[in-house]
Structure 1
Amino acid sequence: MERIAESIMLSWGGKRILLAFFAGALAVLALPPFNFFAVLFVSFPVLVWLLDGASGPADAGMLGRFRPAFATGWWFGFGYFVAGIWWLGNALLVEADGFAWALPLAVLGLPAVLALFYGAATALARVLWSDGLGRIAALAAAFGLSEWARSFVLTGFPWNAIGYAAMPAPLMMQSVELVGIFGLSALTVFVFSAPALVGTSRGAVAGILAALLLFSAHVGYGWFALSRLDASAKDPTDTVIRIVQPAIDQSAKWDVAERERIFSRLLELSALPPREGQPRPSHIVWPETALPFLLTDNPGALSRIADMLQVGQSLISGAVRFEDGTGGAPERYYNTIYVFDDEGQIIGSADKTHLVPFGEYLPFEAWLRKLGLAPVAETFGGFSAGDRRGLLGLPGGMRAVPLICYEAIFPDLSEVSDGRGDLLLNVTNDAWYGMTPGPYQHMRQAQVRSVETRLPLVRAANNGISVVVDAGGRIVGSLSLGESGVFDVELPPRKEQFWNMVNRRFNFGLIIVIMVFTAYFTRNGKRRPLD
């Protein structure tokens, strides 16, 4: 082990760059759909050993001293994000004539920007670097802070935070209830970096034991939490949900000639009888922007929805909402969830509040449009963000936390100020990304929101992956990627929340403080003269 570590530490030039890049890319195998988390025992020790040899000249000034560490982290992050989100380019090929030119920006440009966070993390870790356990703690704290910063800087994009790599199954998701995804990211880096200590550092025994203890606690708490959930009262909700997954090709979704076929297909699937002996669904859920037209342009659609719904049934559907420019205000379009009763009346709605930059709107729009740029979802000229987040009332007295598309990747958006709600409602359209890892990654992040909030998740996707998940993150019904159809399932009950978002934030901060203290103490302790 020592010879391998020394070889990596002393590498330079192109070899060092390739080692960092491929160590980051390898870590993606720990994410869905692969879920091979053991690869992190390779990726992070390699990163630690590269950082051991990433110190700049002492007389080079602060920037010069930390530039090699920043570059190492940047190349690691570049590999991680290129391998992890290359599928974003698929969205640009849906309308290749207008957006294919931007493919390098999605496949290489965005990873290059996201890699800046990992570069900053490794440079920050080098401030408290040492030759022992402390450097592992420093790296863990820095990555935790980096992942937290990714959740809000430039509107935020915390996709594939490192913590998701440590939760391939519900048993290993439960710890997120205690420390949140950013705290779990810090602990993940600590545990999987610990093998770098073997045979190469003082404090190896303490570090390995600490990592084993943390990993055992991670799995042990998973068993305890799921057992606690199963032992709690199993009050039935008496609510049967039908998820409709039409699997409409994205290239046809807004084609005027396809509108009638798409709408008829949605109605046909929704009206299918339940399986023999099973109750009929009380709530039918369609995906994001499922309605292939503006309701203001097709008022007859409400009558057809009413005809499809039986007495007591309701429809929950994604749609584009139009707001005219009365009073001199500009016309606006919103990515919305509508709730329809059995008479076809709209009885509730929620607008998306966190839009996708360049996908649903253009930052600095006036300037960028002069350059000929447009958002990828340009069908209606781009979207406006809703001005309020709150619970969405559903028939039967239930209240849902609305999460439209990638809002589900933001932990803060799964809790709202006006109450806890009875379920998380996530409508999405992952058809943009085709048969790639993207939909699997997206579903996993939504699944983890259930564990954090202890609310069931109802997720309807145009082309997969549609699921209903219980409060422990366990899937109780699903349709796979690319499958067209429906499934009916009784809505699982919400469970008592052990710790809320405020507690998780406190615990995350506590983890960072402990890691920084460990790094500082060991770094300075080794320099004290012997008595």
Structure 2
Amino acid sequence: MSGIRFWDPSDAPLFKQRVVDRDPKGRTTRSRWAPFKSAALLGWFWGFGYFVAGLWWLGAAFLVEADQFAWAMPFGVLGLPALLAFFPAFGFALARLFWLPDAWRILAFAFGLTVSEWLRGHLFTGFPWNNLGLALGQNLWLMQTASLVGLYGLTFLSLAIGAAPAVLLTGKTMRARWTAPGIAAGLLVGLAAFGVWRVPSEASPIVDNVRLRIMQPNLPQDAKFNPRNRDAIMRRYLTLSARPGRDGITATPTHIIWPESAFPFLLHRDAGSLAQIATLLGPGSVLITGAARMDAPLPGEAVGKFYNAIQVIDEKGTILGAYDKVHLVPFGEYVPKFLDTLIRAAGLRQFVHIPGGFEPSEKRTTLSIPGLPPVAATICYEAIFPGEILAEGPRPDLILNVTNDAWFGQTPGPYQHFAQARLRAIEEGLPLVRAANTGISAVIDPFGRSVDALPLAVEGVIDTSLPVAEPVTLYRKWSRFSLTATLAICLIILIARRRRQIPLL
């Protein structure tokens, strides 16, 4: 790295700065770190604006119980973006390390921010929400590239393609101005052509003898966790699950699916509620529902450990199996022990109505459900983590996501969550079945197409079939290798060009 020239006044007008140091005699000198500080500062302000614009809806969660949590709204709406902004600050500084005045700066920019986005998705338990790669993850044709390179590959492509037009303003010749945008446009057309080729014209085949009913109760969050509403909530779930669907079909479904944390009580310890569920289910049918559960307390403990879980119940009211959530939401489902002590000492409490919060499961497991192929279960937030939703071992044939986005009302949050979950289906080549309390509930085929869906803030049920899984995608086979190889090649090229200072055109 000793051959890298850290600063040249002719480099990148956007990154010019006036930060100076003074030597012992008072003479001004230019700090070799000044350009990186300037780039990092620019990246922080850019990131802060990006995250405030994309995450402002988090404030709705603090108003559900405003008397207890409204004071904390600034920390969620402004504090979290301020912290997350340090990731693009690092990405900008990393890009500045390899910055060149020609079109190769596009590659440096894409490299730096892709690295920072990967770090954001992994450090401190990770938070890859609204990753920049989702710019290519909304159009049906363009999003098919996720089956090859995944979310972080889309990140690199989105940044490189989106930044290419910048040289139109700085190129010294017609060729210098148009070559990079032309390559980017051609690449975009190529990605779309791949999507057209990959997505079949006909609907996906379906799994035999599977009839799904997804129930969306649309319960407001302030009522959902109130124990006084337990009987009314159970009646609503049972009534809604038993009524005819939108297509008028009354045939007994093989599988009824309820959303995350469906009850303000422990279902597995409530014999009466299990008996009511048994009366709902027909012969051979099962209920799959989100439900908190508690282990028996160990000797010396007052209460056992609580888990955010998915439970499977048969027509006899017997719990056949469960999946416990692995990736909990920091400060939403758990708080570090020392902070929890401070919060309680101040007379406050955390969001979740569970003493001490939930415990994470030690490892991800594949859920076995009678009548369904093996299931990759995810609860809420877990669906946003690419490459992490499948357990080790044989590949499942279905992604199940139960969630409760009622915290965020009718804001962009539930739409963003749905978009990220849908991209997991394309990455893995698996259908997605999603039950959300207030929406968006849906069945998505392995190509990201909606088989059926309920919109946000609507009460109802979906009666539908289950699409068949596609063969293992290239992303699943080579995901870690492909991203590492891409960034390594990019780094080698940037270092070589930065040392040689060879113009691109």
| TM-score under structure 2 length normalisation | 0.90
Correspondent of 1:287 among 259, 272, 286: 259
Correspondent of 1:459 among 424, 434, 458: 434
Instruction: Give the secondary structure class of the aligned counterpart of 1:325.
Output: coil
Q: Which residue of 1 aligns with 2:447?
A: 472
Q: Which residue of 2 aligns with 1:145?
A: 115
Alignment check: 8 A CA contact 1:167 1:173 kept: yes
- 1:113 is aligned to 2:88: no
Q: Which residue of 2 aligns with 1:101?
A: 71
Alignment check: 8 A CA contact 2:375 2:396 kept: yes
Q: Which residue of 2 aligns with 1:430?
A: 405
Letter in 1 for 2:151: I
The farther-off stretch of 304-313 and 501-510 is: 501-510
Alignment check: 8 A CA contact 1:55 1:69 kept: no
The farther-off stretch of 467-476 and 518-527 is: 518-527
Q: Which residue of 2 aligns with 1:195?
A: 165
Q: Partners in 2 of 1:305 and 1:273 — Cα distance?
A: 17
Correspondent of 2:209 among 225, 231, 238: 238
The farther-off stretch of 122-131 and 415-424 is: 415-424
Letter in 1 for 2:79: G
Paired residues, what number? 480
- 1:325 is aligned to 2:288: no
Alignment check: 8 A CA contact 2:47 2:88 kept: yes
Alignment check: 8 A CA contact 2:261 2:308 kept: yes
Q: Partners in 1 of 2:13 and 2:403 — Cα distance?
A: 40
- 1:394 is aligned to 2:364: no
**Using a 3 Å threshold, how does the CA distance of structure 1 residues 171 and 280 change in structure 2: closer, same or farther?**
farther
Alignment check: 8 A CA contact 2:145 2:191 kept: yes
- 1:220 is aligned to 2:190: no
Letter in 2 for 1:176: A
Q: Which residue of 2 aligns with 1:43?
A: none
The farther-off stretch of 380-389 and 74-83 is: 380-389
Letter in 2 for 1:106: G
Query: 1:220 offset after TM fit, Å?
Result: 1.4
Query: 1:390 offset after TM fit, Å?
Result: 0.9
Query: 1:381 offset after TM fit, Å?
Result: 4.1
Per-residue CA deviations over 1:103-155 (Å, capped at 9, x if unaligned) read: 01000000011110000000110001011111110110111111111111111
Letter in 2 for 1:185: T
Percent identical among aligned pairs is: 41
Query: 1:510 offset after TM fit, Å?
Result: 2.4
Letter in 2 for 1:94: V
Query: 1:322 offset after TM fit, Å?
Result: 1.3
Per-residue CA deviations over 1:394-417 (Å, capped at 9, x if unaligned) read: 111521101000000011322210
**Using a 3 Å threshold, how does the CA distance of structure 1 residues 50 and 154 change in structure 2: closer, same or farther?**
farther
Alignment check: 8 A CA contact 1:323 1:331 kept: yes
Instruction: Give the secondary structure class of the aligned counterpart of 1:398.
Output: coil
Per-residue CA deviations over 1:415-451 (Å, capped at 9, x if unaligned) read: 2102211210000000000000000000000000000
Q: Which residue of 2 aligns with 1:68?
A: 38
Alignment check: 8 A CA contact 1:358 1:374 kept: no
- 1:312 is aligned to 2:284: yes
- 1:258 is aligned to 2:229: yes
- 1:444 is aligned to 2:416: no
Query: 1:499 offset after TM fit, Å?
Result: 1.2
Q: Partners in 1 of 2:178 and 2:459 — Cα distance?
A: 53
The farther-off stretch of 464-473 and 375-384 is: 375-384
| Structure 2: runs of 5 or more not aligned | 1-8, 22-28
Letter in 2 for 1:71: L
**Using a 3 Å threshold, how does the CA distance of structure 1 residues 363 and 201 change in structure 2: closer, same or farther?**
farther
Q: Partners in 2 of 1:277 and 1:248 — Cα distance?
A: 24
Instruction: Give the secondary structure class of the aligned counterpart of 1:208.
Output: helix
Query: 1:277 offset after TM fit, Å?
Result: 5.9
Q: Partners in 2 of 1:498 and 1:278 — Cα distance?
A: 37
Q: Partners in 1 of 2:83 and 2:281 — Cα distance?
A: 47
| TM-score under structure 1 length normalisation | 0.86
Alignment check: 8 A CA contact 1:133 1:522 kept: no
Letter in 2 for 1:457: L
Alignment check: 8 A CA contact 1:75 1:115 kept: yes
Q: Which residue of 1 aligns with 2:331?
A: 358
Q: Which residue of 1 aligns with 2:465?
A: 490
Instruction: Give the secondary structure class of the aligned counterpart of 1:87.
Output: helix
CA RMSD of aligned residues (A): 2.3
Q: Which residue of 1 aligns with 2:357?
A: 382
Query: 1:179 offset after TM fit, Å?
Result: 1.0
Q: Partners in 2 of 1:430 and 1:98 — Cα distance?
A: 20
Letter in 2 for 1:321: R
Letter in 2 for 1:210: I
Letter in 2 for 1:243: I
**Using a 3 Å threshold, how does the CA distance of structure 1 residues 500 and 63 change in structure 2: closer, same or farther?**
same
**Using a 3 Å threshold, how does the CA distance of structure 1 residues 214 and 364 change in structure 2: closer, same or farther?**
farther
Per-residue CA deviations over 1:153-193 (Å, capped at 9, x if unaligned) read: 11100000000122222212110111111111011011000
The farther-off stretch of 118-127 and 412-421 is: 412-421
Alignment check: 8 A CA contact 1:132 1:522 kept: no
**Using a 3 Å threshold, how does the CA distance of structure 1 residues 351 and 105 change in structure 2: closer, same or farther?**
same
Alignment check: 8 A CA contact 1:393 1:400 kept: yes
Query: 1:289 offset after TM fit, Å?
Result: 0.5
**Using a 3 Å threshold, how does the CA distance of structure 1 residues 165 and 303 change in structure 2: closer, same or farther?**
same
Q: Partners in 2 of 1:521 and 1:280 — Cα distance?
A: 65
**Using a 3 Å threshold, how does the CA distance of structure 1 residues 94 and 502 change in structure 2: closer, same or farther?**
same
Alignment check: 8 A CA contact 1:352 1:403 kept: yes
Q: Partners in 1 of 2:53 and 2:102 — Cα distance?
A: 31
Query: 1:278 offset after TM fit, Å?
Result: 7.0
The farther-off stretch of 275-284 and 293-302 is: 275-284
Q: Partners in 1 of 2:433 and 2:107 — Cα distance?
A: 38
**Using a 3 Å threshold, how does the CA distance of structure 1 residues 249 and 480 change in structure 2: closer, same or farther?**
same
Q: Partners in 2 of 1:378 and 1:502 — Cα distance?
A: 40
The farther-off stretch of 396-405 and 81-90 is: 396-405
Q: Which residue of 1 aligns with 2:50?
A: 80
Q: Which residue of 1 aligns with 2:274?
A: 302
Q: Which residue of 2 aligns with 1:510?
A: 485
Query: 1:196 offset after TM fit, Å?
Result: 0.4
Q: Which residue of 1 aligns with 2:25?
A: none
Query: 1:312 offset after TM fit, Å?
Result: 1.4
**Using a 3 Å threshold, how does the CA distance of structure 1 residues 458 and 122 change in structure 2: closer, same or farther?**
same
Q: Which residue of 2 aligns with 1:421?
A: 396
Correspondent of 2:148 among 178, 183, 188: 178
Alignment check: 8 A CA contact 1:306 1:343 kept: yes
Residues 333-348 of structure 1 mapped to structure 2, 5 A cutoff: 333-348=306-321
Q: Partners in 2 of 1:495 and 1:174 — Cα distance?
A: 13
Q: Partners in 2 of 1:491 and 1:50 — Cα distance?
A: 55
Alignment check: 8 A CA contact 1:54 1:69 kept: no
Alignment check: 8 A CA contact 1:425 1:458 kept: yes
Instruction: Give the secondary structure class of the aligned counterpart of 2:274.
Output: helix
Instruction: Give the secondary structure class of the aligned counterpart of 1:198.
Output: helix
Q: Which residue of 2 aligns with 1:28?
A: none
Letter in 1 for 2:147: E
**Using a 3 Å threshold, how does the CA distance of structure 1 residues 519 and 212 change in structure 2: closer, same or farther?**
farther
